[in-house]
Chain A
Amino acid sequence: MNKTKITRTMKQIVIRNGRLIDPLHGTDTVADLFIAEGKIAGIGAAPAGFVAEDAIDATGLVVTTGLVDLAARLREPGFEYKATLESEMAAAVAGGVTSICCPPDTDPPLDKPGLVTMLRQRAKNHDLARLYPVGALTVGLNGRQITEMAQLREAGCVAFSQGDVPIADLQVLYRAMQYAANFGFALRLRPEEASLVNDGVAHDGEYASRLGLTGIPVVAETIAIAQITQLMRATGCRVHLARVSSGAGVALVREAKQHGLPLTCDVDINHVHLADVDIGYFNSQYRFDPPLRGVRDRDAIVAGLIDGTIDAICSDHSPVDDDGKLLPFAEAERGATGLELLLPLTLAWAERAGVSLPQALAKVSSTPAAMVGFEASLSIGARADLTVFDPDASWRVTTDALKSQGKNTPFLGYELKGRVRHTLVKGKRVFDA
């Protein structure tokens, strides 16, 4: 990278009088913040020789590290009719998300170094959020042949995953974990035993029974977690569990962590707020994989976030067009748009659960950043990926208000607090409301 060239195009920016929240260090103070050469150059007092070429007045606003989303589907390559890199990158920065991990379940899947290089280059051309691809764990996500993980890592993959396609053959998973452990790579696995999902579409509980929807039992998750933790013990592989959904699953993760396994996990923001009973009369906006589980499961997720069992919250951003949703519940496409809702819904959770802003924001910035492999903090020398938001500004979630090409979410029509005013990536303003 040509550093001198970058330096020349970068403005020195001062963000004045903002409430600086550093989730990594848990600090919350009002001060000026100075940016130079894409990095934080000063806090409180300007560094020597600083000349502000640009200023942001952040009076009454929160200034914090940019959000890091561990799972956002951008639909490129292969599903451009649903969304494009450009539309979703714009949605990300509008939502204060400065770094995105994209799962490998594109078409073709991210199973070749060339594809990863191309995707990263295309993302770089848009020059909005940073993109961290997650490579495919098996070729074509076929669950049989492991990928060239080391070469994928060189091409920029930060972890390896099967997306939502679990590996049925434990022999393959075992070997894949050994191979990844050999290089010190982390796997991101969604804990789900496919044979227990079968044709299930909703949490196997009273509500699904009432609606006559085929249930996905909690054991589909707990059995997978048990298998994965056993294989971790056998292989030493680091694993991050993607989108744990059940109270029993959270309990298993807690236990594994207590035993010192190198296990981390996340939950998607929808599962922090919603439960199976919200499906109402077959509302396909509530069709998720894993399914929305019972109210007690949701409460266990909230408790797991507070006690640290659950490390991070992701958006699980999945742009789905209306054609994908205007179908009977079981046939409807799963998922919801989320990049622009991650911040306000995290704030809503924090308020309801009585969690401090630094602690809540850590779940969507500094902690996932550490999993990706960088430090997100408000300290001198840290990357100037910043989100400036008004925590008290309310806005209504409408299709017009969303920049993402995916307009479908259960939160359409909701009034949410927390509006992003400015987003900076590498010290550059990439979004201003």
Chain B
Amino acid sequence: MNYILSKSEMESAFVAISSDFQVYGAVERDGDVIFDRVAGFDQVSEERSRYAPKEFLMKRNENVLILNVESKKAVFGIKSCDLKGFYLMDKQIFGKDPFYTQKREKTLFANFVCSEPCSGGFCSSFGGPVLDQYDLQILREGEKFHVMVSEKYDRYFREFKKETGTFYVDFSNRFNSKLEPLPVEGIEKRIKWNSELWKEYASACISCGACNFECPTCYCFDLYDDGNERKKEWDSCILSGFTSSSAGNIRKGLDERLRQRFYHKFVYFKKSKDTYLCTGCNRCVEDCPVGIDIKEVITYDYNGE
């Protein structure tokens, strides 16, 4: 259901949610936007967090031999591109990984829809900032808040004024016309296995893995023993050990590993899950120390090679 709330009504919805959840929000700390506990809706920053908030559902490092009962959390101020990452991950790991699944089920995400395109972002290529899957999707318009609420959390909003018009559709169309979508459709057919692009990227890439760690959709992890613990830790398909086993390494070359990253996002995931594994957040571009741009993988003229 869609609602329209005043600032004070938004605060009272926040209070109601706070009584059932531990509430977190995007907040500014020492110049960075991070997620921390918040006590009021007005404390939540509208700026995008420095890092994708993957840690709410996948800790960097945790012991898989102990599955703790998690508390219910509500997270305000996650941006649509970051939230969409979880909906994409769900397709591969929800219901299978017990750590992710438990946290996913117990976490309410209140995503903020950007009112204007951000610099470098290309979310309109993947549908734009108005998501069709959400818990609470919030768009501020001056002093008013447009809120789309999923059935699961509708009880917190029933007392407020319903919004019946086409506000979100109109907004989405306006936003996406301001940010020209990239020609992503059909990339799974255009992309080329033996493209020069992979070698060119490999000659610059320093295998730091930042693109994976920053990515709101990358879910791969390593499992290893550390004393009495069996650790599950974020991993990166760019690192040389990712596929090495006693039988050898199937992707010895950095060009092969870079290609794997893009093929997984634009070819393999599309084939197996019928969607691309990218939200257009541009985090991997912003944090790449050598300037590799995933947008080029989409727009590159493979035929012209």
The answer to whether A binds B is no
Instruction: Enumerate chain A interface residues (CB-CB to B < 8 A).
Output: none
Instruction: Enumerate chain B interface residues (CB-CB to A < 8 A).
Output: none
